[in-house]
Amino acid sequence: MTKKQWIEAFPLLNEIIDTKEILWKNPDYRAESHSSTLSKADIEDAAERLERFSSYIAKVFPETAESAGLIESPLITIPKMQKVMEDNYHIKFKNPLLLKCDSHLPISGSIKARGGIYEVLKHAEELAMEHGYISVTDDYSIFDNPKFKELFSNYRISVGSTGNLGLSIGIMSAQLGFQVSVHMSADAKQWKKDLLRSKGVHVVEYQSDFSNAVSEGRKQAEADPACHFIDDEDSKDLFLGYSVAAARLKKQLKSMNITIDREHPLFVYLPCGVGGGPGGITFGLHSEFGENVHCIFAEPTNAPSFLLGQMTGLQDKISVQDFGISNKTEADGLAVGRTSSFVGKEIGHLVKACYTIEDARLYSFLRDLSDTENILLEPSALAGFYGPIKLMKDTENLQVKIHNAYHLIWATGGNMVPPEVQDSYYQKGAVNK
Ligand SMILES: *Cc1c(COP(=O)(O)O)cnc(C)c1O
């Protein structure tokens, strides 16, 4: 089909191409003709693997000792920010607004500390087992043993990234003793590259965008049998690493005396790049909460790749550039022009809606959150804040009553941003209109 024919088929494309902020409601939501190839057993397998590694993680990353080596983030309420959102946008939350602080995940300070670290650990476990170094009943703190580092030094791990995935994988792989290459897209921030190089990671820089960095990395890895390429566009392991968050979130909600049920559904707002992080979490949440959870994805107006893939059904067969959209955004973690078809097929039908947000609004939320709650996030991580506003302002009520709902915003990164960079972000946040 030509661009014109696509626009006729999907009139919302007009506004998307004009990079307007839009809300797209998924007509295929929970369509029974779709199903996932993965199951709850796969999520449990991933959770058990992370549990096996907990003694090692607690040992080499002392900041996780408090959580006994589990890499997990706080769930909090943000009453002052909630008030500011209510006042600025003329909305009202019935229940306390929730913030899931993956920005403060230990080790690498972003949502990528889930999937990225998980896939590296899984690969390390496979190699160690192959060489007869370990069995599942052992205490995994011996992964810190020089003998393991010696083994892993013969292997390479490689990944393409806009920044945060590279940080997670680089830090974890270097700690285990692997050689690591991170292929960074043009969007990647300088401080992320510097940090990785300081850990001995081989950083390869590209002038092109994420999809290109990934395919270059993939190509180079294929030529080297000792190299494991972590494929952000197509990795079941990354996806499952993210999915483990859901059961843990359920426990956190319970400890806050929050029950999610038919009358009190949970709406979750997830910033989306290639789709793996929000997709894995959506998969996990549906496995925990079933029909009582509704996941909504947020993308920059200049990089709505997941939305385009789902709306047209073309998944990774089209890019935002095909529609003349730039893929240029300050939200580096979301600067992805072409989505993952693996993720789209796996969970596209479990995403209730997608919306887009302008960079300027990301900064405005950034500043408000800093002023009200003293929480500093990176621009990508603010994309979820516009979700409840978009939904509440939508006149057709999305078929589900949302007035008793709990709204949870997934804050996906920010803890490792250097203070001077953080300060420049804050300065870009316009004082409220
Ligand atoms: C990567 C990233 C996301 C989105 O995850 P994807 O797997 O790319 O969809 C969101 N926020 C931040 C800060 C990220 O680094």
Domain boundaries, the chain: 3-38+67-107+239-431, 110-235
User: What is the structure's pLDDT at 3?
Assistant: 83
Asked if 273 and 213 touch (Cβ cutoff 8 Å), the reply is no
End-to-end CA distance of the chain: 42
Mutation test residue for ligand 1: of 105, 164, 230, the one with most atoms within 8 Å of CB: 164
Give the mean pLDDT of 306-319. 96
User: What is the structure's pLDDT at 398?
Assistant: 59
Distance CA 163, CA 414 (A): 12
Residue 273, CB-side half-sphere exposure with 13 Å CA sphere: 29
Q: 110-235: same fold as 3-38+67-107+239-431?
A: yes
Q: Which atom in ligand 1 lies closest to the alpha carbon of residue 378?
A: 13
User: What is the structure's pLDDT at 73?
Assistant: 97
Q: Which atom in ligand 1 lies closest to the alpha carbon of residue 277?
A: 7
Name the strand (E) or helix (H) holding 295: strand 293-300
User: What is the structure's pLDDT at 312?
Assistant: 95
Give the mean pLDDT of 102-116. 97
Distance CA 250, CA 184 (A): 35
Name which residue sits closest to atom 15 of ligand 1, judged by CA. 333
Whether 166 lines ligand 1, by a CB cut-off of 6 Å, is: no
Say how many Å lie between the CA of residue 292 and the centre of ligand 1: 24
As a whole-number percent, the residues of the chain with pLDDT over 90 amount to 89
pLDDT at 401 over 60: no
pLDDT at 267 over 60: yes
User: What is the structure's pLDDT at 4?
Assistant: 87
Say how many Å lie between the CA of residue 273 and the centre of ligand 1: 5
Mutation test residue for ligand 1: of 185, 316, 380, the one with most atoms within 8 Å of CB: 380
> Which tens digit of pLDDT belongs to each residue from 51-82?
999 999 999 999 999 999 999 999 999 999 99
Say how many Å lie between the CA of residue 328 and the centre of ligand 1: 15
Distance CA 205, CA 219 (A): 15
On average, the pLDDT of the chain sits at 94
**Is residue 66 exposed (0-12), middle (13-18) or buried (19+ Cβ within 10 Å)?**
exposed
Give the mean pLDDT of 105-127. 97
Q: Which atom in ligand 1 lies closest to the alpha carbon of residue 115?
A: 7
Distance CA 347, CA 351 (A): 7
Which of 131, 140, 111 has the alpha carbon at shortest distance from 50? 140
Whether 112 lines ligand 1, by a CB cut-off of 6 Å, is: yes
Give the mean pLDDT of 31-48. 93
Asked if 155 and 179 touch (Cβ cutoff 8 Å), the reply is yes
Asked if 121 and 143 touch (Cβ cutoff 8 Å), the reply is no
Asked if 203 and 194 touch (Cβ cutoff 8 Å), the reply is no
Long-range contacts for 56-59 (Cβ within 8 Å, ≥24 apart)? 56/140, 56/141, 56/142, 56/143, 56/144, 58/141, 59/141, 59/144
Please name the fold of domain 3-38+67-107+239-431.
Rossmann fold (3.40.50)
Sorting pLDDT into bands at 50, 70 and 90, what band is 433?
very low
Parallel/antiparallel/unpaired status of strands 98-101 and 75-77: antiparallel
pLDDT at 432 over 70: no
Distance CA 232, CA 5 (A): 31
Beta-strand runs (E) in 121-246: 156-161, 179-184, 202-205, 227-230
Higher-pLDDT residue of 171, 32: 171
Neighbours of 259 (CB within 10 A): 11
Whether 413 lines ligand 1, by a CB cut-off of 6 Å, is: yes
Sorting pLDDT into bands at 50, 70 and 90, what band is 288?
very high
Distance CA 273, CA 305 (A): 8
User: What is the structure's pLDDT at 397?
Assistant: 60
Sequence-ordered list of residues with C-beta below 8 angstroms from that of 425, at least 6 positions apart, any chain = 363, 366, 376, 378, 379, 417
Exposure string (b/e) for 109-129, b if CB count within 10 Å is 16 or more?
A: bbbbbbbbbbbbbbbbbebbe
pLDDT at 402 over 90: no
Whether 265 lines ligand 1, by a CB cut-off of 6 Å, is: no
Residue with tokens 């959150």: 369
User: What is the structure's pLDDT at 186?
Assistant: 86
User: What is the structure's pLDDT at 291?
Assistant: 95
Give the mean pLDDT of 158-181. 95
Whether 277 lines ligand 1, by a CB cut-off of 6 Å, is: yes
Give the mean pLDDT of 244-258. 98
pLDDT at 35 over 50: yes
Classify domain 110-235 at the CATH class level.
alpha beta
User: What is the structure's pLDDT at 430?
Assistant: 72
Whether 381 lines ligand 1, by a CB cut-off of 6 Å, is: yes
Whether 275 lines ligand 1, by a CB cut-off of 6 Å, is: yes
As a whole-number percent, the residues of the chain with pLDDT over 70 amount to 97
Neighbours of 107 (CB within 10 A): 21
Say how many Å lie between the CA of residue 25 and the centre of ligand 1: 21
The tokens of 63 are what?
A: 């900041």
User: What is the structure's pLDDT at 400?
Assistant: 52
> Which tens digit of pLDDT belongs to each residue from 346-378?
999 999 999 999 999 999 999 999 999 999 999
Give the mean pLDDT of 271-290. 98
Whether 309 lines ligand 1, by a CB cut-off of 6 Å, is: no
Parallel/antiparallel/unpaired status of strands 351-357 and 293-300: parallel
Q: Which atom in ligand 1 lies closest to the alpha carbon of residue 238?
A: 7
Give the mean pLDDT of 142-163. 96
